[in-house]
Structures are given as C-alpha cells and as structure tokens.
Amino acid sequence: MRIAIFSAKNYERTLLDELNATHHHDIVYFETLLEPDTASLSAGFPAVSVFVNDIVDGDVLGQLAAGGTKLVATRSTGFNHIDLEAAKKLGVTVVRVANYSPNSVAEFAVGLILVLNRKIHRAYNRTREGNFELDGLMGFDLVGRTVAVIGTGKIGTIFARIMAGFGCKVIGFDKYRSPEFERIGGRYVEAEEIEDADIISLHCPLTPETYHIVSARTLNRLKRGALLINTSRGGLVDTEAAIEALKSGQLGGMAIDVYEQEAGLFFKDLSSTVIPDDVIQRLVSFPNVIVTGHQAFFTREALGTILETTLASVSDFAEGRPLTNEITM
C-alpha cells in the first residue's frame, strides 16, 4: 500500500525501511507536519501515518478523504490529536499503537524524579564548570514518601511498581481499578487525598475530562513543595498556573516531557532562533524545572514496536484482516 509518513525523522526512516522489507509497502516520507496547508501532499495515498503533533482535525481529514485516504495510522498511543468523529463520518479508519513498551515512559518518569529531586541536572552543569559545591543540591529520601499516580493504566502501573520498589507509599487515582496496581501495594484514593502526596505523576490520557486536571485550584491544594511529573500530555497541566505555583514555592519542582504548546517547538532544533514562546522560556529559566522534548517513549525497543505495529496495521488493512489497533468511538 502507498503510505505517506508525516513528521518523519531520520531515526524512523532507517528503521522503517528495514522493517518494510517484510511488508513491501510503498513509503514516501514527509518531514513536514500534517496540517491544513500540507494535507494536499497526501493526495493519492490510501494510508497516511502521523505523530503526536500532526493536526488531524475535521478540515485535514476532509482533505485526506477527498484525496483518497482510507486509513490514518498514528505512531502513538495517545490520539487526542485526531478528530475521531470526523474520521468516522468521512469513512476514514484510524489505528494507533495501543501497546508498546510502557516501560519506556514509566522508566523515564522515574528518571525525571531522581534528577529533579537530587538536582542532578544542576550538578552536571556545575562540575563541568569546575564547581563542586553542594549548596542548593539537597534532595529528600524517596523511601517512605507518598507518590500519587494519576491514571493507573499500563504506564502508570509500571511506574507505581518501580516507585514501590524504592519504598514509597503509592496511591492511585483512576476511573477504573487495576488489580495489578493493587497487587503491587497501590491504594486507590479519592481526588482530595492526592493532597497528601510528595510527588504527583500524570499517566492518564488527555480528554475533555482531564484537560487542565492540574489547575490553579489543584496546585493550591497540594502539599507545599510537592513535585509534579508530566510524561503524559501537556494539556493536563495549566502551565501558567504551574508557573505561579513554582514562583510562590507551593510547587517544589516540576519535570515535564510534554507541553501544551509543544507543536511547533518539540522535535525541532531551534537553538539558533529566538523562541517566541515566553511560557516555555520562563519555565526553562527555573532551576527546579526540567523540560524534555517528548522523549519518554524514545527507546530502541519502543520505537521498533511502534513502527512494526504501524506497518502491520497497514498490511492488515490492505489485506482486509481484523484491525487489532483500530480506535473506535
């Protein structure tokens, strides 16, 4: 099948070409984002593959359908960037990668906690400048601390298991209970009890219900000095409110791998330009904030599974086989 791969990065192209040796698709790579102005590039491609910052709204889907696209395959778990209702109306099937090394994201979230709490990012910079001072680098023991996991699905549960291994008390907030989360010692709580946590880590999807789940109100109710970790989606956090909470010391630190306005910034080298986004610039100026560019998924294992699953979904679609990764409303 002819596939147009949008937001294609070099590290994906090499691996996709290798994996495609068994699928034999006709792949064309587009480095650009899929958005209203670039959607016409997909004309004549029955399959289009996208990533998290591509815009797959009603307008773009309309253009895709008019150009003959029947399948949109997102190389991600999250699908908040796709208008599923519009896709359904236009007869465009949407598939994702429901399951790929959730360990990659869970382990990264743990890494962010260790770096943020023990200020390893600051120590790294200091020692390179010949500064071996410890002032300002004090952290806290993780053992005995309370860690709140918002969203105890695949990633949240693995994250919880690792934190339990550090001797943390793990509490969870989710609409559905995971027996695995409880088996590893996690305790489900009501929203108010999250206020007891020393560390809050977000692992729920971005939906209308979870948009700004971390708001000024939530932040004001947290334990003073708590750490916030977001490896899920930027829209879960009201970033302006988080900045105010960091300024007042209510929030002790924040590590984010995702950012509400990340489209246009993340996955690009902007080091030679003046970045016009004042919010991200303010955030990176804080000593107790770590920003990474949506790299939590980025392990050899996860990327291999993401790309193989995407090609396999296109093969299944082409052959009329059942689609295990179809997103249905």
Cα–Cα distance, 305 to 83 (Å, whole number) = 25
DSSP for 119-179 reads THHHHHHHHHTT----TT------TT-EEEEE--SHHHHHHHHHHHHTT-EEEEE-SS--H
DSSP single-letter state for residue 34: P
Question: Among 190, 53, 168, which Cα is nearest to 109's?
Answer: 168
- Give residue number: closest CB to ligand NAD: 153
Active site residue 300: no
Q: Kindly tell me which of 146 and 210 has the beta carbon lying closer to ligand NAD.
A: 210
Active site residue 182: no
DSSP-based three-state secondary structure for 48: strand
Q: Kindly tell me which of 62 and 205 has the beta carbon lying closer to ligand NAD.
A: 205
Q: What are the angstrom distances between the C-alpha of 3 and each of 44, 47, 187? A: 9, 5, 45
Q: Kindly tell me which of 76 and 93 has the beta carbon lying closer to ligand NAD.
A: 76
Which residues bind to ligand NAD, rule: CB under 6 A?
A: 77-78, 102, 105, 150-156, 173-176, 203-207, 209-210, 231-233, 257-258, 294, 296-297
Neighbours of 297 (CB within 10 A): 23
Nearest distance from C-beta of residue 234 to ligand NAD, angstroms: 10
Nearest distance from C-beta of residue 289 to ligand NAD, angstroms: 17
Q: Kindly tell me which of 150 and 228 has the beta carbon lying closer to ligand NAD.
A: 150
Q: How many residues does the structure list for the chain?
A: 329
Map tokens 């990065």 to a residue.
Answer: 9
Give 273's contacts (C-beta < 8 A, 6+ positions apart). none
Nearest distance from C-beta of residue 128 to ligand NAD, angstroms: 27
Map tokens 């695995």 to a residue.
Answer: 180
Nearest distance from C-beta of residue 136 to ligand NAD, angstroms: 29
Residue pair 119/136 in contact by the 8 Å Cβ criterion: yes
Bridge partners (DSSP) listed for residue 227: 199, 253
Cα–Cα distance, 184 to 305 (Å, whole number) = 26
DSSP-based three-state secondary structure for 77: coil
Nearest distance from C-beta of residue 326 to ligand NAD, angstroms: 15
Burial of 277 (0-12, 13-18, 19+ CB in 10 A): middle
Q: Kindly tell me which of 161 and 233 has the beta carbon lying closer to ligand NAD.
A: 233
Of the listed 262, 308, 319, 321, which one is catalytic?
A: 262
Report the run of H or E that residue 278 belongs to, with start and end.
helix 278-284
Q: Kindly tell me which of 179 and 320 has the beta carbon lying closer to ligand NAD.
A: 179
Of the listed 161, 233, 260, 308, which one is catalytic?
A: 233
Map tokens 């990340």 to a residue.
Answer: 262
Active site residue 31: no
Nearest distance from C-beta of residue 111 to ligand NAD, angstroms: 12
Give 176's contacts (C-beta < 8 A, 6+ positions apart). none
Q: Kindly tell me which of 16 and 155 has the beta carbon lying closer to ligand NAD.
A: 155
Nearest distance from C-beta of residue 46 to ligand NAD, angstroms: 27
Of the listed 294, 301, 308, 321, which one is catalytic?
A: 294
Q: Which residues are catalytic?
A: 233, 262, 294
